Structure 1
Amino acid sequence: MCARTSLNEKRILTLSALLASGFAGGGLVLGLLVGSLVIMFDGVYSMVSLLLTLLSLAASRYMRKPSQGQFQYGKAMLEPVVIMIKGSVILSVVCYSLYSAVSALFTGGREVDASIATLFGIINVIGCSYAWWTIAKNSKRFSSGLIEAETKQWKMDTLLSVAVTAGFVCAWLLSISPWAQYEVYADPVMMLLMSFYFIKVPFDMIKGAARELLMMRPSKEICQLVGSEIAALDEQSPQNFKLAGVTKIGQELRVKVDIHSTSQQLDVKHLDRARRVLKDKLSKLSLDLNLTMNIAN
């Protein structure tokens, strides 16, 4: 990862941590005051987001330091480890909230002051939308797995805030309708629906990180690009170049190429040129390329 990208990654993660701390404090305090499962979940989620963002900051800072021989193959593996931890913690929060919502439904619901909760929801929607938009915009300019994970966190928080606000508006309308007695079930029902929806995001984070840790094939787009560039190089070269393996770990792309030749000697200059051409072609992926060329029998 280049120095500029690392600096911007640190700046974006710091901004995310500051915003998350504000939303966490507000959500927890107001959630306890009005007795809302949804607002407390929003506050707890923001608090978890803050702690996970601090973890990302620590990992980002550590990965920029020299490995001093402890990490023989680099520190790229740390990024999917952090993402897996973040996904696991978020998944645990969602599952606990789902359990709380089901328990509330079977114990008579929860009475909530919808007017105060709606005002809090509107403020949250504006703040979370700004954070999501800012981090997503920077994620496109400075690609990083940690920033992408942060974007997903804020996307979840924004959608959660929208759902909270819409739900409390519905609860207020229900309170002035002939079915006012069912208002107490609005909060746990909202929490139940949101839990089922949000459970997919952390699951996808864990799945993606696990694939990288197990060195499984990366996305179809990456495989197609690497395969097509090596096939093009094979057509232009007297030697035969065959893709032996490709994996993506964090921001590092590891490509292994086998060289098959019928001649007794290989032109070193030609191989160096082929390596430079392949690195130049794969630079469009904006990943740190680790290219290995082996002479196969």
Structure 2
Amino acid sequence: MSNRVEQAMLKQSTALMFAVAIAAIITGFFSGSQSILFDGFFSLVATFIKVLMLITAKLIAKESNQRFQFGFWHLEPMVLLIEGSFLLLIAIYAFLSGMFGIINGGREVELSIVIPFAALLSIVCLGYFFYVRYRNRTLKSSLIQFDNISWLVDAMLSIGLLVSFLTALVLKSQGYGAWAAYVDPSILILLGLSMLAPAHKILRPALRDVLGIVPDQLDEKVRRVMDEVKANQGFSEYVSYVQKHGRARFIEIHVVLPMDYQLQDVGKLDVLREQISAKLGKPDATRWLTICFTGDRKWIA
């Protein structure tokens, strides 16, 4: 059920972002505003990323197969890495474009077109961002969470555009029309800089997952639980391995039992597994847990 809701929200987000992209590109073209045009191309790239996220969500919903025996969880951080990389490239492009615009003497913009558009776009993007964030409180989807960052960035872009264009209008009305020409490229520079933080917020966790860096909190939790179980049950030692791919958490634990460990039947090992599993948290479809027992240390070396 949650995956169907996730896919429905991603479809809705994709369609709305595509409409925003087309509207911004058309408005930017006719108004002569490079910043509006930039906002349109950002939205177009965001639409492409949303399509990838939707495909990923559908694949994750499928069961594992012979080729992908652990499912398709590894695709999630890869898509987020693509999104973060695009955001970073767009931020660099915006900054350089704004710098060249200032060097070339600024840019005249048709304010009567861009001000109403920027106001409408601000309302739509900000409103949809809060709507999605509210819906995701119960859904708790990382894809939806990171997808919603694009709406926050677009809202930031739109509000920045609106404030800047209103500033340009005031400058023109006060007889400073020459300075008003520098507003549009200045916006691009500020927008480029403001997008660095969202890009980093997406790239950092996605890159950790793609590179296979151990998730520190999960590793500490597993070690804390196993240290407690080891002391209570009298295990000789253990080794644990953890990995994270998107929402999927992979936990592998190998326990060495003393040679004189009192073991009446195999069922006791299953009881121990249940106890360890319960201490690690409520099991769900995103957790892959393997617990092995041995009396010979060579199997964990």
TM-score normalised according to structure 1 size: 0.90
Please name the residue that 1:272 is paired with.
270
The CA deviation string for residues 38-95 of structure 1, in whole angstroms up to 9 with x for no partner, is: 1111111111111111111112112223343111332111111111112222222222
For residues 202-217 of structure 1, the aligned pairs below 5 Å read 202-217=199-214
Task: Report the 3-state secondary structure (helix = DSSP H, G, I; strand = E; otherwise coil) of the residue aligned with 2:287.
Answer: strand
Would you say the 8 A contact 1:94–1:199 is kept in 2?
yes
Post-superposition shift, 1:264? 4.6
2:218 is aligned, of 216, 222, 233, to 222
Name the structure 1 match of 2:241: 245
Aligned to 2:232: 236
SS at match of 1:236: helix
Question: Superposition pairs for residues 58-137 of structure 1, below 5 Å?
Answer: 58-137=55-134
Q: Measured at CA, do residues 199 and 232 of structure 1 come closer, stay the same or move farther in structure 2, by a change above 3 Å?
A: same
Give the Cα–Cα distance (whole angstroms) in 2 for the partners of residues 140 and 278 of structure 1: 29
The farther-off stretch of 44-53 and 94-103 is: 94-103
Give the RMSD, CA atoms, in angstroms.
Answer: 2.2
- Which residue number in structure 1 is paired with residue 45 of structure 2? 48
Asked if the contact 2:106/2:181 (under 8 Å) is kept, the reply is yes
**Counterpart selection for 2:252 from 238, 241, 256:** 256
| CA apart distance, 1:240 | 5.1
Counterpart contact for 1:241–1:257, Cα < 8 Å: no
1:109 is displaced (CA, Å) by 0.9
Rg: which structure is higher? 2
Question: Does the 8 Å contact 2:219/2:241 carry over to 1?
Answer: no
Answer whether contact 2:171 2:179 (CA < 8 A) is retained: yes
| TM-score, normalization by structure 2 | 0.88
Unpaired runs of 5+ residues, structure 1, are none
Amino acid at match of 2:4: L
TM-superposed CA distance for 1:242, in Å, is 4.1
Look up the SS of the partner of 1:257 in the other structure: strand
Matched residue, 1:282:
280
- Structure 2 contact 142–247 (Cα < 8 Å) conserved: yes
Separation in 1 of the partners of 2:256 and 2:187? 61
Partner secondary structure for residue 29 of structure 2: helix
Could you say if the C-alpha distance between residues 284 and 30 of structure 1 is closer, same or farther in structure 2, counting changes exceeding 3 Å?
farther
Deviates more, 1:206-215 or 1:279-288: 279-288
Residue type of the alignment partner of 1:74: G
CA contact (8 A) 2:95 2:188 kept: yes
Question: Contact 2:251–2:288 at 8 Å: present in 1 too?
Answer: yes
Q: Quick check: 2:214–2:243 contact (8 Å CA) kept in 1?
A: yes
Report the CA distance shift for 1:240/1:183 in structure 2 as closer, same or farther (over 3 A): farther
Aligned ranges for residues 181-200 of structure 1 at < 5 Å? 181-200=178-197
- Take 2:236 and 2:21, find their aligned partners in 1: how far apart are those partners? 58
Deviation at 1:129, TM superposition (A): 1.3
User: What residue ranges of structure 2 are gaps of 5+ in the alignment?
Assistant: none
> 1:137, CA displacement in angstroms?
2.0
Establish whether residue 141 from structure 1 lines up as the match of residue 127 from structure 2: no
Matched, 1:36 2:33: yes
Mapped partners of 1:40, 1:266: distance in 2:
73
Question: Are the structure 2 counterparts of residues 249 and 168 from structure 1 closer, same or farther at C-alpha, using a change threshold of 3 Å?
Answer: same
SS in 2 for 1:244: strand
Provide the C-alpha distance between the structure 2 equivalents of 1:20 and 1:261, rounded to a whole number of angstroms.
57
User: How many residues matched?
Assistant: 293
Stretch deviating more after TM superposition (17-26 or 141-150): 141-150
